[in-house]
Amino acid sequence: MSRPQGSPNRKLITQEGLNSWLDELAVTRSLIAPRLAAGVPLYQRVAGSNEIAWGISRTVLSVKQAFFPPNERLLTIRKNGQAIQLEETVPEEAQIVFGVRPCEARGVRLLDALFLDTPPADPYYASRRENTVLIGLACREMGPTCFCNSVGGAPNEAGDVDVMLYEVNDGYVLEDVTDKGRSLTVDLGLDVYDYDPHVYRYESHYEVVSPLTIKWPGLFEHEYWQKMSERCLSCRACAYVCPTCRCFAIRDESIGTGEFERLRCWDSCAGENYRLLAGGHKARPEKGDRLRNRMFCKFHFYAEQTGLGNISACTGCGRCIDVCPVGVDITEVLADLGRQP
Amino acid sequence: MTFEPKIIAFLCTWCSYTGADTAGIARIKSPANLRAIRVPCSGRVSPELVMRAFDQGADGVLVLGCHIGECHYDTGNHRAAKRLPILHALLTFAGLEPERFRLDWVSASEGERFSHIASKFTDEVRKLGPAHWKMEADRRVELEDAFARERENIPFPVTSCAAKTDAIRGKARELLESGQVGCVIGYEISPRGRTRPAFVVQAEDTDLLVWNPDCTHNLAVYLPARLRSKSPQKTSPAVALVAKPCDSRAINVQLAENLYRREKVHVIGVTCEGLRDVQGNMLSRCTTCQEAAPVVCDTLIGGDTSGFIPRVTSCCEEMIAELEGSSPAGRMEFWLSQFDRCTRCYACRQACPLCNCPTCLYERDDSTWVGLGIGLNEKRTFHLGRAYHLAGRCVDCDACERACPVNIPIGLLNRKLADEIEKSFGFRAGLAVAPSPIVTILSGEYKEE
């Protein structure tokens, strides 16, 4: 992935230049960027660069909501006498997501493996993916709970976005990564800038065991899961903030006057009723079963099922560590399992 | 054309439904806006039904029951009289115009009274115009600046917790060694340095336990699931629990609801000078705390509570007062902008020691009370419904608010209802083993195990 120093793709843009570029983009497309909603940084639609929360390390919810929203209507179902009419709602709005961190962008790549590359492709996800340009922003430093470099990523990895920005003293170094990105930056008339992002060394705050060194299949029946999950509350916060959790539920609901909608909403294996079967059988009745599933899904099942090979489906953003109300820590699980023979 | 409101009228079959008939027979004019729903008793009208009506686009809801003392089932209308005013306060607080929801009494012979109430109610709702309760699918609300206020920061005083930590460890060791309990639930420091719940089952591990101003979790949340015996033959071993004053109140409510037997839990009560948030400031919850010592405990740790200065006002109360002083539309904006951030992750519900229904009403797979969606309507219904279900039960521990990943001030709803309950019934949850005053418990239902 490393490009030669002084790559012609890297140019310098000032803060003012960036602002006016984003403002210009926001005129024709929907601009989604980190924004402070009552003090909480979230990806939301912004009217212009002045609404963007600059200087935050990361949002509470990840960028996955731009492609896989918490709540979406798939179909509208109309009853017309005896006939039933279905109307699909494929999103077509062009959107630009600004401020995407490399860990989240990597999460999008991992979601692609399921939603796009595993047939049948998901038309809703595919359409949003097609109509979206990702503008990445390299991290200045690793946050206290970040561990992207322990799971195969880097705080300045540019491979999963369309345009990448690196913060430097004079503004930002802008790098075109894809043709989709280049088409947006070509008219800016920026000067080529001599910059090598890989010179910068990031300091980890916390030593994290690599999940690839752990022998997952043999740990499934381990008593550890029951013990480590005792404090878990079975809420879904970890899954909903995760850039790669993508379970959903679908249900048809009445919207009045003989019309129905088919809804797709986020769901999570952390909930007790997830995969509830007819007759009331719960697939994973204990908290330990559910947390084990979460860890196995991240580090073993997902990559295997989607054919990604031996990689981690956790991108090390650390969001789940931050939001867990009772301090369940994915890196601690890795450390504990790493000690198993 | 003038606006004609849609009004849902829940009419008791024994009185007001017949009263409506009486009005008809006597040819007294009543408005045609009413969609009458015949119910066996006004006590049948659960708050969820009223909320569902508004969620589905009603402009007003009218509940008419028998006069107090005349109920066909003796006390059915008492239930309505207890519950619905609390719901009225909640919906008003969430931004519904108070005139849109009304409870009144009409007997079978009072045709004229029925017509009078129905016409007056309809006129008032007509004047208000359409209810804007039901939200469009992708509406996003900006927080009004009027309510965006800075929280008053009270730096947390430096306190020494070493003595309490030692006492907790000693007691835990004693309980585990003697076999009195199978597990001690307390607090530990995680490898990352955060304080979190700990489950100690062996006496030699008791040195893990700590006490510090970051022991914010209400550990009573773990008790019902742990102590619920899965089969009548097999009983679960007793548990010891480190409890702050607010946690101990939750234990009282759990006991009042027969979730487990008192002897199953050994409460290691710890006196509390308040807790701090991640920024090192006193938690807003603690600034209004009235209790320094646990209300129920088997072992008391840190006996001296003279250093405790109860405060009477805090930003929460000022916030409630400010919201109440605002217009219904302003309150609705405020709450929608808060609920907008919710993702229905249920962290609030799961962290609550008193949210312990086997299946949450708002997570049923039949969409009866709320849809599956993570849209504004569903999120609001969930939060308001949950607040209502906690009325008279919530102990203001604010565990829900602290668990929320997106900082929704859910605690304000609970606090508002706790105030209403205190005003109406002189009752504060958890000070004694007593069930919520708005829950009617039949004599046969409530018994000591």
DSSP letters spanning B237-252: PPEEEEE-HHHHHHHH
B403:A42 CB<8 A: no
Q: How many Å lie between the alpha carbon of B352 and the closest alpha carbon of chain A?
A: 9
A237:B345 CB<8 A: yes
% of chain A at pLDDT higher than 70: 98
Looking at residue B81, its pLDDT comes to: 94
**B183 to chain A: closest CA residue:** A230
Nearest Cβ partner for A70 among B56, B343, B359: B343
Residue B276, Cβ neighbours under 10 Å: how many?
Answer: 19
Report the b/e string of B184-223 with b at 16+ CB within 10 A. bbbbbbbeeeebbbbbbeebebbebbbbbbbbbbbbbbbb
B221:A233 CB<8 A: yes
Nearest Cβ partner for A71 among B338, B346, B373: B373
Looking at residue B309, its pLDDT comes to: 57
Q: Which helix H or strand E contains B284, and what residues bound it? A: none
Name the residue among B153, B147, B154, B155 with its Cα closest to residue B318. Answer: B147
Q: What are the distances in angstroms from CA B429 to CA A93, B9, B165, B248, B354?
A: 50, 32, 29, 11, 11
Contact A102, A156 (CB under 8 A): yes
Q: What is the pLDDT of residues B310-324, one digit of tens each?
A: 555 566 778 888 899
B371:A251 CB<8 A: yes
B367:A335 CB<8 A: no
Contact A66, A97 (CB under 8 A): yes
Q: Computed from CA positions of residues B250, B255, B260, B262, in that sequence, does the dihedral angle turn out positive or negative?
A: positive
Q: How many Å lie between the alpha carbon of B189 and the closest alpha carbon of chain A?
A: 10
Q: ∠ at Cα A221 (A217, A227), nearest 5°?
A: 120
Q: How many Å lie between the alpha carbon of A237 and the closest alpha carbon of chain B?
A: 5
Q: How confident is the model at residue B305 (pLDDT cuts 50, 70, 90)?
A: low
Contacts of A332 in chain B (CB under 8 A): 190-192
The radius of gyration computed from the CA coordinates of chain A, to the nearest angstrom, equals 21
pLDDT at position B98 over 70: yes
What is the C-alpha to C-alpha distance for residues B33 and B112, in angstroms, rounded to an integer?
17
The separation between CA A22 and the C-alpha centre of its own chain, rounded to angstroms, equals 22
The separation between CA A118 and the C-alpha centre of its own chain, rounded to angstroms, equals 18
B350:A233 CB<8 A: yes
What is the C-alpha to C-alpha distance for residues A156 and A137, in angstroms, rounded to an integer?
8
What is the C-alpha to C-alpha distance for residues A282 and A231, in angstroms, rounded to an integer?
20
Looking at residue B441, its pLDDT comes to: 67
| Residue B349 phi, psi (nearest 5) | -65, -40
pLDDT at position B281 over 50: yes
* Best A32, A45, A71, A336 residue to mutate vs chain B (most B CBs within 10 Å): A71
Q: Is the peptide bond before A120 cis (omega within 30 degrees of 0)?
A: yes
Looking at residue B230, its pLDDT comes to: 59
Nearest Cβ partner for A329 among B190, B195, B349: B190
* Best B201, B217, B228, B374 residue to mutate vs chain A (most A CBs within 10 Å): B374
* Best A36, A45, A235, A333 residue to mutate vs chain B (most B CBs within 10 Å): A235
Nearest Cβ partner for B374 among A70, A256, A321: A70
Looking at residue A60, its pLDDT comes to: 96
Residue B351, Cβ neighbours under 10 Å: how many?
Answer: 24
Contacts of B56 in chain A (CB under 8 A): 256
- Delineate the domains of chain B, giving CATH numbers in brackets: 7-128 (3.40.50.960), 138-449 (no CATH)
Residue A59, Cβ neighbours under 10 Å: how many?
Answer: 26
Looking at residue A3, its pLDDT comes to: 46
3-state secondary structure of A40: strand
| Residue A84 phi, psi (nearest 5) | -115, 125
Average pLDDT over residues B288-292: 80
Contacts of A271 in chain B (CB under 8 A): 346, 363
Contacts of A39 in chain B (CB under 8 A): 407
Looking at residue B365, its pLDDT comes to: 81
| Residue B11 phi, psi (nearest 5) | -115, 130
Contacts of A276 in chain B (CB under 8 A): 365
pTM, two decimal places: 0.93
Q: What is the pLDDT of residues A27-65, one digit of tens each?
A: 999 999 999 988 899 999 999 999 999 989 999 999 999
* Summary mean pLDDT of chain A: 91
Contacts of B337 in chain A (CB under 8 A): 37-38
Looking at residue B145, its pLDDT comes to: 53
Q: How confident is the model at residue B143 (pLDDT cuts 50, 70, 90)?
A: low
Beta strands in B271-390 (DSSP E): 299-301
Q: How many Å lie between the alpha carbon of B78 and the closest alpha carbon of chain A?
A: 34
Name the residue among A243, A304, A245, A312 with its Cα closest to residue A102. Answer: A243
pLDDT at position A2 over 70: no
What is the C-alpha to C-alpha distance for residues B361 and B380, in angstroms, rounded to an integer?
14
Contact B211, B164 (CB under 8 A): yes
Residue B320, Cβ neighbours under 10 Å: how many?
Answer: 17
Contact A157, A200 (CB under 8 A): no
* Residue ranges of domains in chain A: 10-338
Q: Which residues contact B110 (CB under 8 A, 6 or more apart)?
A: B19, B22
Q: Which two tokens stand for residue B168?
A: 């907790």
Quote the crossing angle between the two packed helices B376-389 and B76-93, to the nearest 10°: 130
Q: How confident is the model at residue B232 (pLDDT cuts 50, 70, 90)?
A: low
| Residue A100 phi, psi (nearest 5) | -75, 125
Residue A287 pairs in a beta bridge with: none
What is the C-alpha to C-alpha distance for residues B95 and A183, in angstroms, rounded to an integer?
47
Burial class of residue A63 in the structure, from the number of CB atoms within 10 Å of its CB (0-12 exposed, 13-18 middle, 19+ buried): buried
Looking at residue B306, its pLDDT comes to: 62
First to last CA, chain B: 63
The radius of gyration computed from the CA coordinates of chain B, to the nearest angstrom, equals 24
Looking at residue A81, its pLDDT comes to: 84
- Encoded amino acid at B153, one letter: N
Q: How many Å lie between the alpha carbon of B373 and the closest alpha carbon of chain A?
A: 6
Q: How many Å lie between the alpha carbon of A179 and the closest alpha carbon of chain B?
A: 32
Q: How confident is the model at residue A290 (pLDDT cuts 50, 70, 90)?
A: very high
Q: What is the pLDDT of residues B244-264, one digit of tens each?
A: 999 999 999 999 988 898 999
**B151 to chain A: closest CA residue:** A39
Chain position carrying tokens 């040195």: B207
A335:B221 CB<8 A: no
Contacts of A60 in chain B (CB under 8 A): 405-406
A237:B405 CB<8 A: yes
Q: How many Å lie between the alpha carbon of A40 and the closest alpha carbon of chain B?
A: 6
A325:B345 CB<8 A: no
Report the b/e string of A219-231 with b at 16+ CB within 10 A. beeeeebeebbbb
Q: Which two tokens stand for residue B151?
A: 């929280």
Q: What is the pLDDT of residues B178-213, one digit of tens each?
A: 999 999 999 999 999 999 999 999 999 999 999 999
Q: Which residues contact A24 (CB under 8 A, 6 or more apart)?
A: none
B343:A253 CB<8 A: no
Q: How confident is the model at residue A164 (pLDDT cuts 50, 70, 90)?
A: very high
Q: What is the pLDDT of residues A301-320, one digit of tens each?
A: 998 888 888 889 999 999 99
Contact A92, A47 (CB under 8 A): no
Q: What are the distances in angstroms from CA B154 to CA B213, B279, B290?
A: 14, 10, 17
pLDDT at position A275 over 60: yes
pLDDT at position A95 over 90: yes
